[in-house]
Amino acid sequence: MKALLIHQHGGLEQVRFEEIDNPEVGPGLVRVKTKATSLNHLDLHVVRGLPGRDLAMPHILGSDGAGLVDETGEEANRFSIGDRVMLNAVLSCGKCEFCMEGQHSLCIKLHLVGENSGGTHGEYFVVPEANLRKIPAQVVFEEAAAFSLVFQTAWRMLKTRTHIRPGDDVFIHGIGSGVSTAALKIVKLSGGRVFASSSSDEKLKQAHQAGADFCYNYTKTDVVQEVLGATGKRGVDIVVDTVGDATWLQSIQLARKGGKIVTCGATSGPNPKTEIRLIFWKQLEILGSTMSNQREYDEVVALLGQEKLKPVIDRTFPLSEGKKALEYLQEQKQFGKVVLVA
Ligand code: ZN
């Protein structure tokens, strides 16, 4: 088969679309004929190389995918050949104290499809059957491939970690990324108000169309003053910060007394300037979150099936032009997900 892969870490010049053996099924595994995959910021980190991770090369990229069941291994009997399936990339051991409690995202051996093991950006991918779900009938492959990683991540952040309630004010930095647009949809579904920021008026326009209540271009306005003005000096209940260095101090200023800041990433860097006095004085809760448990994944897939949640797709590229798609993602011009079609 052909796949988007690297032979060594480096820049995007390392990414190739070339022939590689089809992945083989084993016990409990299912081979999927890929119809669509989607890019994540994680793909760029994997190309560059993650500290302490020694990948077997060549390594196929990709942590989101959807397609048709092509072959099932022994003991894999939940699906039939030809079933339309979508992927949950969370690989957990199933044996540790956290897995035993259903807390798969806390698994001591947690890893992801495409991060430590072979990914989805090929004509076929092989994963444990427990990681697949049937695609709801009216959902097309592109949507199914664009959905999982960002929605399960944003769902856990907002529902499980911050316990979002109707009427909550939620600030989302850097609207346009996959997780931030998923968070926008989940806040609106939960009956909250969205405050979104970006450096791009175009992205803010799209955010407004997608339901954002207040939009701020941080290159033109003092976001903290604007939000304090709009909330009667109170601040917001929840801040979704996936940016890190560039936004952390603002997040602390934006949160109301007793408010929550939740993070699942740090695209601008992981060591921000902080302000401990405001953290204790305002009694803030700072929450980490990563991926989701299987129960949370089932919840978001059900909402996808009920058409209550729907991914925003920015652009699609053919799988063969995956390198070009990664370059496009790296430029951060997208609003929503970049999808590859096989
Ligand atoms: Zn485990």
Report how far apart, in Å, the C-alpha atoms of 224 and of each of 19, 251, 284, 316 are. Answer: 51, 9, 16, 35
The two tokens of residue 35 are: 């119809």
Q: Kindly give the distance from the C-alpha atom of residue 87 to the centroid of ligand 1, in angstroms, as a whole number.
A: 19
How many whole angstroms from 109 Cα to the centroid of ligand 1?
A: 6
Give the SS3 label for residue 246. Answer: coil
Distance CA 318, CA 324 (A): 10
Pairing label, strands 236-240, 169-172: parallel
Q: Three-class SS of residue 204?
A: helix
The one-letter amino acid at 120 = T
The structure tokens 């299912």 sit at 30
3-state secondary structure of 152: helix
Task: Look up the pTM and report it.
Answer: 0.97
| Residue 338 in tokens | 């970049």
282 vs 157, 168, 238, 259, 286, CA distance in Å? 21, 17, 13, 8, 12
Extract the tokens encoding 180. Answer: 């931030």
Neighbours of 234 (CB within 10 A): 13
What's the pLDDT at 164? Answer: 98
Strands of 177-320 (E only): list them: 193-198, 214-217, 236-240, 255-263, 285-288, 313-318
Distance 101 CA to ligand 1 centre (A): 9
Q: Say if residues 194 and 214 touch (Cβ distance below 8 Å).
A: yes
Report pLDDT for 176.
93
Give the bridge partners for 132, in sequence order. Answer: 87
* Successive 10-residue mean pLDDT values, the chain, 342 residues: 97 97 96 98 93 88 98 97 98 97 97 94 98 97 98 98 98 96 98 98 97 98 98 98 97 98 94 97 98 98 98 97 97 95 97
Is the backbone of residue 54 left (phi > 0), alpha (psi -120 to 50) or beta? beta
First-to-last alpha carbon distance for the chain, in angstroms, is 11
Give the separation between CA 265 and CA 152, rounded to whole angstroms.
14
pLDDT at 183: 98
C-alpha of residue 107 to centroid of ligand 1, in Å: 4
Q: In what order do the strands lie in the sheet with 59-60?
A: 15-19, 2-6, 59-60
Q: Which residues contact 44 (CB under 8 A, 6 or more apart)?
A: 12, 326, 329, 330
Alpha-carbon span 140 to 135, nearest angstrom: 8
Per the document, the length of the chain is: 342
Ligand 1 centroid to 102 CA: how many Å?
Answer: 9
pLDDT recorded at residue 54: 84
To 10 degrees, what angle do helices 322-330 and 41-48 make? 100
Cα 96 to ligand 1 centroid, rounded to whole Å: 4
CA of 290 to the centre of ligand 1 (A): 14
